[in-house]
Structure 1
Amino acid sequence: MKLPKPRKRGDTYTVTVSYQGKRYYCTRDTEKECEQWAALKLLELKAQTKIETGELKPKFLFRDLNEKYYTDVGQLNASKSSRAWMKGQYKNFELKFGALAQKSIYDITPKDLTNWRNKRLKEVGENTVLKEISHYSAMFTFAQKELFLLDENAWMQISKPKKPKARARRIHQSEIELMLKALDYEMGTEPVLSQHYVAWGFLFAIETAMRRGEILAMEKKDIYDGYVHLPKTKNGEPRNVPLSEEAKALLQLVKHDGRRIIPQSENAFRLMWEKRKLAIGLPNLHFHDTRHEAITRMVRVRKLPVEVLAKITGHKKIDVLVNTYYNPNADDLVAAFNG
């Protein structure tokens, strides 16, 4: 198509592009600028026509999809706990994907994603990679079913890493004593310093099977006679957690006037925990192991049936509760059998 010739008007130039019955105008300082605009405009209009007829795919980078998904789903529709994780994925996206982030989603192949998976497995564990693949697969499904940009999801065409064996770590009494000593806390005393509250939270978790985030979000108004009410939990539903006599005694030790039981940020709490456990040579001790320990104790000591236990712990899938979090040793099984 022949380019239209710019016309001089006063101190400027103007040019008109006609395409499929419509006219587009532009004013620039020089004749050359008008010619450049006209050429680019015609290319843009032709490309748009090809996109609308399906002859050409629009330019949409993986990076752009990450931005769109976080804006539409991560910020608006995700739960509070999911939103924080998704924000981390969003912020570290280009660091994690490198050149692949700049590639059009139409050009990304299962081979690209398999190479990324193999590289990522050298950096983090299988569980992390599985969670990330699930997140980015959901992103491509969003592009497919909500934005109507893709015909298929390339993430669905790659093999996933084998899920590692579920962690079955129990906490020995000697480890509890070591952690309390490392945190400079004596059982039965009022927590005052930040490390005291980490120790207090550790003991409270073993008594209640509550997650770290749930304990840190716990407010005084949520404490009732015999139980604590959790308005927001990981699975998105509220639940009530019964309090043992030991848990009640721990709550009575908290004397401050603040709103939350533990007046500490989640990051500060986590860093203190990690620093002190490494200092005493317990790198394999995770705070989440308290959940395994607490659930196993509830079955052993209180003989709770699994359906009641699931209500306390917030598990929707009984098999996850039984096969992952209930970790009896041989003596526990013998005692339960004979009991």
Structure 2
Amino acid sequence: MARYEIQPSGNWRVRGKVRGTWYSKTLPTKRECKEWWEKLEERLSEQRGERSYGKTLLQALERYAREVSIKKRGCRNEQIRIRKLIRDFPRLVATPLEDINIHDGHEWKNKRLAQGIKSSTLLKEYGLLSGVFRYCISEWFWLKEHPWQFLKLPQAPAHRQRIVRDEEIAIMCNALGYQADKPPLTTKARVACAMLFSLETGMRSGEICDLKWCDIKGRVAYIRQAKTDAGVRDVPLSLKAMEILKQLEPVTGEYDLVFKLYSPTRDALFRTAREKAGLSGFTFHDLRATACTRLSKKFTQLQLMKVMGHSDPRMLNVYYRESAEEMLDRLDS
């Protein structure tokens, strides 16, 4: 960013830094300084072969997908969002970046909300677009400012409060063809094992699918690839969790992956079984919340934060679901 200063002589001086190099110029007026700086930025951009004018949002999305998104842990879902945006908003993505304005943002937002999507989905999509705009500004020099910076968005929804009940878990196990006294030979049965394992450990779906036999030492699972830095952790395994691993060993012991599952397959089979069983209102991730609620009665807040891989203890307030009646029992004991 450039700084403009008036000199004792009455002239103006512009000074700024572009990619680690300082530039300055003294001219009679501030307006001339601004024009000089804009031309300088344009010339430097051209020298790198990255002229901004004419670059469209489509080109930015494709480059972001190719260079940035592909490196993310959740790249699959983000790549789907990018393809959907390109498919559903052809006029918007064909627009040159410098021509995109706040009115385009309102049009995009209103159309998506009219399609009945949840506010959480809209916020995720905005987060993607905002990330693309930021890269266009700071990394590729295709854009000078965020065109939708002041777009008014719906509030983020409250944290989910869904607890998966024991009877729902039993019905899901039955729908997935799981039997506690038999090896889980089918992929569906291993999805049930993953579901029960999440209830015992509070591990995320991706962590369970990525879990390898070499990550398990005694009664501890070592998570080395996680969603966040705090997610890299050691998870204690209950006796029930160990029973699930023992059940899996004859089936997947010769493979690297404990559950021999991939996230898209796990997701599809879980949803299909839930619909087949006539259940609704909960997701696989709600199993983690259910586990955290159960474990909150066994661990202190700091212990629970370590087990669950949270970096902020305030996040645990979502899982502290003890009712006033339950607290009264302890108060009077």
**TM range, normalised to the smaller chain?**
0.7 to 0.9
Q: Does 1:288 align with 2:285?
A: yes
Query: How many Å apart are 1:330 and its aligned residue?
Result: 4.5
Within 2, Cα distance between the matches of 1:338 and 1:212? 40
Give me the identity figure in percent: 26
SS of aligned partner of 1:240: strand
Query: How many Å apart are 1:285 and its aligned residue?
Result: 2.0
Task: For 2:167, give the aligned amino acid.
Answer: S
Task: For 2:62, give the aligned amino acid.
Answer: E
Within 1, Cα distance between the matches of 2:281 and 2:168? 11
Aligned match of 2:246: 252
Alpha-carbon contact 1:222-1:229 (below 8 Å) kept: yes
Query: How many Å apart are 1:52 and its aligned residue?
Result: 4.0
Equivalent of residue 301 in structure 2, options 294, 298, 306: 306
Task: For 1:182, give the aligned amino acid.
Answer: A
Aligned match of 2:270: 273
Query: How many Å apart are 1:119 and its aligned residue?
Result: 1.2
Q: Does 1:174 align with 2:167?
A: yes
Within 2, Cα distance between the matches of 1:50 and 1:163? 37
SS of aligned partner of 2:78: helix
Quickly say closer, same or farther: Cα 1:329–1:185, change in 2 above 3 A. Answer: farther
Equivalent of residue 120 in structure 1, options 112, 128, 131: 112
Within 2, Cα distance between the matches of 1:178 and 1:82? 30
Provide the TM-score with structure 1 as the length reference.
0.77
Query: How many Å apart are 1:337 and its aligned residue?
Result: 4.7
| Correspondence 1:157-236 to 2 at 5 A | 157-236=150-229
For residues 1-46 of structure 1, the C-alpha deviation after alignment (integer angstroms, 9 at most, x for no partner) is: xxxxxxxxxxxxxxxxxxxxxxxxxxxxxxxxxxxxxxxxxxxxxx
Query: How many Å apart are 1:310 and its aligned residue?
Result: 1.2
For residues 118-141 of structure 1, the C-alpha deviation after alignment (integer angstroms, 9 at most, x for no partner) is: 111233211111111111112111
Within 1, Cα distance between the matches of 2:41 and 2:141? 16
Structure 1 residue runs of 4 or more that deviate by more than 3 Å after TM superposition: 48-54, 325-339
Query: How many Å apart are 1:90 and its aligned residue?
Result: 3.0
Instruction: Give the paired residue count.
Output: 285
The structure that has the greater radius of gyration is 1
Provide the TM-score with structure 2 as the length reference.
0.79
Equivalent of residue 145 in structure 1, options 135, 138, 141: 138
Task: For 2:163, give the aligned amino acid.
Answer: R
Aligned match of 2:258: 261
Query: How many Å apart are 1:145 and its aligned residue?
Result: 1.7
Aligned match of 1:136: 129
Stretches of structure 1 that go unaligned for 5 or more consecutive residues are 1-47
| Correspondence 1:10-159 to 2 at 5 A | 52=43, 58-75=53-70, 78-79=71-72, 81-123=73-115, 124-159=117-152
Q: Does 1:238 align with 2:232?
A: yes
Within 1, Cα distance between the matches of 2:131 and 2:41? 28
Alpha-carbon contact 1:292-1:327 (below 8 Å) kept: no
Quickly say closer, same or farther: Cα 1:222–1:57, change in 2 above 3 A. Answer: closer
Within 2, Cα distance between the matches of 1:331 and 1:321? 20
Query: How many Å apart are 1:150 and its aligned residue?
Result: 2.2
Give the aligned CA root-mean-square deviation in angstroms: 2.5
